[in-house]
Amino acid sequence: MSETLLEIEDLAVTYGVGDAAKVALADIDLILESGQFTAVVGESGSGKSTLANTVVGLLPESATVQASALRLDGRSLLGLSEGQWSGIRGDIVGLVPQDPGASLNPVRTIGSQLAEVFELQKLKLSRSEVRRRSIELLQQVEIDNPERRLRQYPGELSGGMKQRVLIAIAFGLNPKLLVADEPTSALDVTVQSQVLRVFDRLVAEHGTTVLFVTHDIGLATDHASRIVVMRDGRVVEQGDVESIVTAPKSDYTATLVGRVHATTPPPAQRSHTESADEVVRVHNLGKEFRVKGRQKHKVLDGVGFTVRRGETLALVGESGSGKSTTAKIIIGLSSPSSGTVEVLGKDVERLGNRDRREHWRRVQFVYQNPDSALDPRWSVERILEEPLRSFGIGADGSRAKRIATALDNVNLPVSTLSKVAAELSGGQRQRVAIARALVVEPEIILLDEPLSALDVVTQDQIIGLLTDLQQSLGLTYLFISHDLAVVRQISHRVAVLKAGRLVDIGDTQSVFEDPTSQYTRDLIDAVPGRRFQRSLLVGV
């Protein structure tokens, strides 16, 4: 019989004291059996990470924890000192954090950080033995050329490699419970799939119990045996994967599950008004960067496509495929090494100063992360007024009306104008970023991974917003993304880039149902939730 490893009963966590206290968790009951893989799913602010940090003892000092029971491996976790926690972390519970860039020391080699694993275990090993075991850890997580990696620094590794190093460190400590907090959210879908395949293998080999925190219920269905759904600091429902996906008890869970079912079978093709007017023409586009003196690195090679007025073309590919470089050339922030780009009938490279300013008004850009795109010191009103001032629009006193219209277009109340970005949620900040693009009345909007920092519920809201805006304002979108589930919902056509080359292009349904390249097939197969969908189809 399985034994209970983690027992949580009536857990409550608050931040702050008195009237300023904020309830982060309330009435949490959770049991994890030894060897069980449990996923905790919910949108941003649902309390997932607070739950994870409670279990590993990493809550801030402002947090107050109360519970009828909070036991790990038979030991109470209530009221422990930092010294007592240090004896539990690594030995009984380990953590794979969300951001490897922030979790690995940038000024220390990978080898020196792996060596800490053996120091924490108080193993008296020679330098050569530490090196041998460190190489074995990197081999376990399938990192190539491990001898070389030991000498490298985190900045020399890709995001996927850095995440594998964190997994190697976690499993090297051999904890009974492993808490993984959004461990692959920053990775491309194919790299995410590769990293999680390694993770699953190590879990099976070590017999580790896992608490896996994610906003993506598709990932949960692919890897977990049990799912806990959270919202607003409470557990909405929990159960085995099949019961959660096939018979959700709450409307909220059903909304999350709807994202899993949306990727297969195919939805109806998005309709739009057909137009022969090609507002973007990219012909034989090439781009090279010089690195290390005279050496050239080719980022784009012979890329060509068109975008018709009123449609959404999704530009898809992994990091380094050339998606963002293409967008920067289209908007005029970078110059091509070869080929041409025509936007609204004009060659972008040949624009004079006046035409270039008008080009920047008619073609707007929405960036991936609204936190870095919006000045945190400015009010929303100032953020929306700044592009109007820059382009000299509304000098006749119509700026206030334009700002109000832009805010209304993204479904934000007028009261938002007086707030600064830090007072808004992630979804609200992205709406402000879209409103800033809309306020100058553009014809084309380039959206560079605009949903990747948002949870799935907020993603759905922004997708609906973008779709409505396109239909009401006649906008044209170039939508850059590595998330094929999102691409399928929003795009009319899809162009797939691999290492700077166009390997697939066509209407969305055709590309998903009959891709011409193996690379596109691999991207589609890596979409989270595919495993459970296939099992459903087999049972039909």
pLDDT digits (tens, 9 = 90+) for 26-84: 999 999 999 999 999 998 888 999 999 999 999 998 899 999 999 999 999 999 998 89
Backbone angles phi, psi at 535, to 5 degrees: -65, -35
Residue 396 has pLDDT above 80, yes or no: no
User: For residue 537, is pLDDT > 90?
Assistant: no
How does pLDDT run across 10-38, given as a tens digit for each residue?
999 999 877 778 899 999 999 999 999 99
Mean pLDDT value across residues 323-346: 94
**Mean pLDDT computed over 342-358:** 94
Query: Given this model, what pLDDT does residue 402 score?
Result: 93
Helix (H), strand (E) counts: the chain: 22, 21
Q: Which residue bears the tokens 């070389």?
A: 148
Q: How far apart are the first and last CA of the chain?
A: 33
Q: Name the one residue in this structure whose structure tokens are 């994870």.
A: 52
Mean pLDDT of 202-217: 92
Q: Kindly report, residue by residue over 149-174, the tens digit of the pLDDT.
A: 999 999 888 888 898 999 999 998 88
Calpha distance 163→49 (Å, rounded): 18
Task: Specify the higher pLDDT residue, 236 or 524.
Answer: 236
Higher pLDDT, 435 or 99: 435
Q: What is the pLDDT of residue 298?
A: 87
**Residue 486 and residue 307 in contact, taking contact as beta carbons nearer than 8 Å:** no
pLDDT of residue 194: 85
Please give the average per-residue pLDDT across 412-433, as a whole number.
89
Residue pair 143/161 in contact by the 8 Å Cβ criterion: yes
The answer to whether 166 and 104 are in contact (CB under 8 A) is yes
Quick one: pLDDT at residue 308? 95
DSSP string, 302-359: EEEEEEETT-EEEEE--TTSSHHHHHHHHHTSS--SEEEEEETTEEGGG--HHHHHHH
Give me the residues paired with residue 435 across strands: none
Rounded average pLDDT over 109-137: 88
Which tokens in the block code for residue 211? 């608490």
Name the token pair of 219.
């990932």
pLDDT at res. 266: 38
Gyration radius (Cα) of the chain, Å: 25
DSSP codes of every residue in 5-56: EEEEEEEEEEESSGGG-EEEEEEEEEEEETT-EEEEE--TTSSHHHHHHHHH
pLDDT of residue 159: 82
Q: What is the pLDDT of residue 109?
A: 94
For the residues of 440-451, what is the DSSP string, one character each? Answer: T--SEEEEESTT
pLDDT higher than threshold 70 for residue 293:
no
pLDDT reported for residue 404: 93
Structure confidence at residue 272 (pLDDT): 52
Q: Which residues of 418-457 are buried (b: 16+ CB within 10 A; e: fewer)?
A: eeebeebebbbbbbbbbbbbbbbebbbbbbbbbbbbbbbb
269: confidence class by pLDDT, cuts 50, 70, 90 = very low
Single out the residue of 492, 472, 468, 442 nearest to residue 312, CA to CA.
Answer: 492
- Residue 2 has what pLDDT? 65
The mean pLDDT value for 301-309 works out to 96
Say if CB 469 and CB 387 are below 8 A apart: no
Side-by-side strand order, sheet with 93-96: 93-96, 177-181, 209-214, 37-41, 226-231, 234-240
17's torsion region: left (phi>0), alpha (psi -120 to 50) or beta? beta
Give the 3-state secondary structure of residue 487: helix
Q: Which two tokens stand for residue 406?
A: 């832009």
pLDDT at residue 320 is higher than 50: yes
Sole residue written with tokens 């589609």: 524
CA 143 from centroid of its chain's CA atoms: 23
d(CA 241, CA 227): 6
pLDDT of residue 260 exceeding 70, the answer is no
Statement: residue 265 has pLDDT above 50: no
Residue 532, pLDDT score: 58
Instruction: Look at residue 192 in the predicted model and tell me its pLDDT.
Output: 85
Q: Is 57 left (phi over 0), alpha (psi -120 to 50) or beta?
A: left
**CA quadruple 267, 272, 275, 280: dihedral positive or negative?**
negative
User: What rounded mean pLDDT belongs to the chain?
Assistant: 88
Q: Is the pLDDT of residue 538 over 90?
A: no
Question: How many residues would you count in the chain?
Answer: 540
pLDDT of residue 275: 60
pLDDT in tens, 451-502: 876 777 788 888 999 999 999 999 999 999 877 878 988 999 999 999 899 9
